[in-house]
Amino acid sequence: MRRFLRPKLQGGIHVCGCGHSGTSILTRLIGAHSRIHAIPGETGIARRGSYTWYAAGIKTFEQKVIESGAEKWVEKTPKHIRSIRFILDCAPSTKIVLISRNPKDAVGSMKRRYENLEKSLARWKADNRRALYWSRNPQCKIVLYENLVTNTRETLSEVMVFLGFNFEDSQLDFHRQPLSWYSGTVDGTSTGHEHPEPPLNESEYGASATHNEYRDYQINQPLFNAIGSYRTHLSDNEASKVWMSCRNLALALGYQSDTALSLK
């Protein structure tokens, strides 16, 4: 079917941005709303650039919404930051929430996971250039991770207004309803590990835990502040290199220095 003959789809809510920037926790907060159903894990339904594939995914999501008694679905796939034009072309009513994180913390987290500083740095810049570009679109809203964890109520309230809903206090208690999005075990309980506070990296969680179990553990904890976690993953020289490489883009996103942010 020719592109211009395709019927427009009813949009939902997509959360995306550079990996390791808080897409999971933001989706958990949004999905804790009584009228929104969170789709587990990362669906990737837009990554193929296939209208048929995307439409089938939305149909499945809409059925889940009906079954849950909600009104709208939210899904998160970080790499959908590269598919926003396709998404809005297929479903113009879609609302897209972008999240950005200080480059040192985000790159440090990616480097810890993938053991490659240069690729992590390149990904942050590429994905956040897209985030900055699309943040000007009325169907998109950008959120700074740092604002989300330090000024949660106000930041989330602004997101909910953008999405057409009122903020609910119960959204802040999302962790009281454990979910398994990645590992098939709720809260990583199959590992037998217990932590009074969320660890900043996987190695602190336990050698026998899988990466997906650790991800489930993270999304089932109360919101915690991981600002400055780069100090665990980057040397001083690496941190300086990251900031100098990302400085102009970071300033444009709202970061006023490598430590201070704009609470815009």
Burial class (CB in 10 A: 0-12, 13-18, 19+), 133: middle
| Residue 210 lies inside a defined structural domain of this protein | no
For the whole model, what pTM was predicted?
0.86
| Residue 196 lies inside a defined structural domain of this protein | no
Q: What are phi and psi of 233, to 5 degrees?
A: -115, -20
| Residue 203 lies inside a defined structural domain of this protein | no
| Residue 239 lies inside a defined structural domain of this protein | yes
Q: Where are the alpha helices (DSSP H) in 115-170?
A: 117-134, 145-150, 152-163
Secondary structure of residue 164 in the 3-state scheme: coil
Give the contacts of 169 (CB within 8 A, at least 6 positions apart): none
Give the contacts of 103 (CB within 8 A, at least 6 positions apart): 121, 124, 125, 128, 242, 243, 245, 246, 249, 250
Closest CA to 218 of 27, 18, 15, 17: 27
Q: What is the pLDDT along the chain (264 residues), one digit of tens a residue?
A: 455 578 999 999 999 999 999 999 999 999 999 999 999 989 999 988 999 999 999 999 999 999 999 999 999 999 999 999 999 999 999 999 999 999 999 999 999 989 999 999 999 999 999 999 999 999 999 999 999 999 999 999 999 999 999 999 999 998 888 776 766 544 443 333 333 334 444 444 444 457 677 677 777 788 889 999 999 999 999 999 999 999 999 999 999 765 545 444
Structural domain total, the chain? 1
Q: Which domain holds residue 86?
A: 8-179+220-253
| Residue 93 lies inside a defined structural domain of this protein | yes
| Residue 113 lies inside a defined structural domain of this protein | yes
| Residue 56 lies inside a defined structural domain of this protein | yes
The number of helices, as runs of H, and strands, as runs of E, in the chain is 11, 5
For residue 202, list its beta bridge partners: none
Output the CA angle 45-127-180, nearest 5 degrees.
45
| Residue 192 lies inside a defined structural domain of this protein | no
Q: What is the CATH number of the domain that holds 83?
A: 3.40.50.300
Give the contacts of 87 (CB within 8 A, at least 6 positions apart): 11, 14, 46, 54, 80, 94, 96
How far lies 31's CA from each of 48, 147, 223, 259, 263, in Å? 25, 19, 14, 30, 24
For residue 155, list its beta bridge partners: none
